[in-house]
Amino acid sequence: MNTKRIFLLLSFVFVLDLLGASRFAIPATDKGLPGEGPIRRYAWFKNLWEKKRTNWAKQVKQDQGALVFLGDSITQGWGDNFRGHFKGVKVANRGISGDTTRGVLIRLKEDVLSLNPKGVVILIGTNDLEEKATPEVIAGNLKLILAALKKHNAKMPIILCNTFPSSATKRRPADQIKKINQLYFAAVKGDAQITVLDTWLLFADAKGDAKKPEFPDLLHPNQIGYDKWAAALRPLLATHGFMETGADKFKIEPGFVSLFNGRDLTGWGFRNQKTQKKLATFDGEKASNDGRYLAINDRLVVTTPPEGRRVQQLWTTREFPKNFILKLEFRATPNADSGVFIRRPQLQCRDYVLAGPWKDLKKYKPQDWNEIVAIVKDGVAHCTCNGEVLNAEFKVPASGPIGLEGDRGQMEYRRIRVKELE
């Protein structure tokens, strides 16, 4: 091949590269674009937008079927290795620093849908406020984003993170962020495909702003913040089968009998809340008849109700007239509310740090496994969490079943076991 032909070929390739790159540039005007509100066109953002998207276009094949994280700088801040979290999960980071809800909407097809994701974690909206968009406009764009995701795959789990707290000094006042989150929830209420994760309350201080130890610039989380976010996501990702898919290797202690076999809901059912009459039993079933209680990899999961709050109770079909020791472990998403019924009275079992009533426990581990022990003797239960006393004289009836309540957020239980005392 002569020098002239080589030059022409290289020139042609260069032109193609330019055309390919321009395909991922921010449109020059808003004309004909979906959604409403701001699209940023600062020089730094235009360069970042095009560079990120051009590189992602080269990774479409390798990122097929990933769990996609979608958002702005806070999502971008995970990095490609997600700060060491979510090991074993195929993940793809599609966060662009500075992006807005409308920006995400414009790039959704090429950056996300082209990957045929198995799930999406979305956090977006804070930059719209800085550009003076109203919460109503922001929520309107989110509805379009979610509609496109649902149309692409009606079964794909979507985790919608509440917009993080920031500060009025960052042109992101607490009242406006609260309004965004209220509108977000209203937009998805009742939609079982979408799980709302309360990442606002997880991070907000008493005034509703970000905390300096977790958000040094009152906008972006540091490693502490990312660790908390990862811990909050992990229970939901486990429920959707992205992680913790192996069997629990726990060995039950001598003298104890397991009340949950880890595979299905044998030995559990629904009762009338007033009369305790048995209404349904779920022997051999992996889920309750309303889908709220699930047996997943040795965990008894009480899923997040799509309507926000819904009280439901699952009871053992067996009753316990003798003195006994009850042991179980639970894990709660941020601000989750549940309860453990001992014969009949309810011991509050919650994300204690955020939901109370015991907010000052020293050994409680947020969004991790914690152990409840209830020693029942002669109508009184002595109840502890990780060894700290919750209620030393919890009065209970002479006989009755053991129950697990679901109310708000996701709760998980495992290693549920009883030892009868002589």
Domain ends where: 210, 239, 268? 239
Structure tokens at 341: 């019924």
Residues 177 and 64 in one domain: yes
Structure tokens at 155: 């079964």
Given a contact cutoff of 8 angstroms between Cβ atoms, the answer to whether 333 and 410 are in contact is yes
Q: Stretch 96-103: mean pLDDT, rounded?
A: 98
Residues 307 and 207 in one domain: no
Residue 36 CB partners (closer than 8 Å, separation 6+): 102, 137, 140, 141
Residues 195 and 267 in one domain: no
Model confidence band, residue 278 (pLDDT cutoffs 50, 70, 90): very high
**CA 338, CA 332: separation in Å to the nearest integer?**
9
Task: Flag whether 272 is in a domain.
Answer: yes
Digit-coded pLDDT (tens) for 5-53: 433 433 433 443 444 447 899 999 999 999 999 999 999 999 999 999 9
Residue 209 half-sphere exposure toward CB, CA atoms < 13 A: 14
Residues 227 and 275 in one domain: no
Residues 223 and 341 in one domain: no
**CA 162, CA 182: separation in Å to the nearest integer?**
9
Residues 82 and 221 in one domain: yes
What pLDDT, on the 0 to 100 scale, is given for residue 273?
A: 87
Residues 225 and 297 in one domain: no
How many distinct structural domains can be found in the chain? 2
What pLDDT, on the 0 to 100 scale, is given for residue 185?
A: 98
CATH classification at residue 54:
3.40.50.1110
**CA 185, CA 194: separation in Å to the nearest integer?**
10
Task: Flag whether 245 is in a domain.
Answer: no
Task: Flag whether 94 is in a domain.
Answer: yes
Going from the C-alpha of 349 to that of each of 231, 248, 386, 394, 404, the distances in angstroms are 18, 22, 13, 14, 9
Radius of gyration of the chain (CA): 25
Task: Flag whether 244 is in a domain.
Answer: no
Given a contact cutoff of 8 angstroms between Cβ atoms, the answer to whether 342 and 356 are in contact is no
Digit-coded pLDDT (tens) for 354-386: 999 999 999 999 999 999 999 999 999 999 999
Task: Flag whether 248 is in a domain.
Answer: no
Q: Stretch 305-309: mean pLDDT, rounded?
A: 97
Residues 216 and 316 in one domain: no
Domain ends where: 239, 272, 307? 239
Residues 233 and 343 in one domain: no
Domain that holds residue 318: 257-420
Residues 137 and 203 in one domain: yes
Instruction: DSSP for 262-284, please give it.
Output: SSS-TTEEEE-TTT--EEEE-TT
Q: Stretch 129-142: mean pLDDT, rounded?
A: 98
Task: Flag whether 206 is in a domain.
Answer: yes
Residues 188 and 272 in one domain: no
What pLDDT, on the 0 to 100 scale, is given for residue 18?
A: 45
Task: Flag whether 2 is in a domain.
Answer: no
CATH classification at residue 374:
2.60.120.560
By three-state DSSP, how is residue 161 classified? Answer: strand
Task: Flag whether 250 is in a domain.
Answer: no
Residues 195 and 263 in one domain: no
Percent of the chain with pLDDT over 90: 94
Given a contact cutoff of 8 angstroms between Cβ atoms, the answer to whether 302 and 323 are in contact is no
Domain ends where: 177, 204, 239? 239
Mean pLDDT of the chain: 95
Does the CA dihedral 52-58-63-64 come out positive or negative?
positive
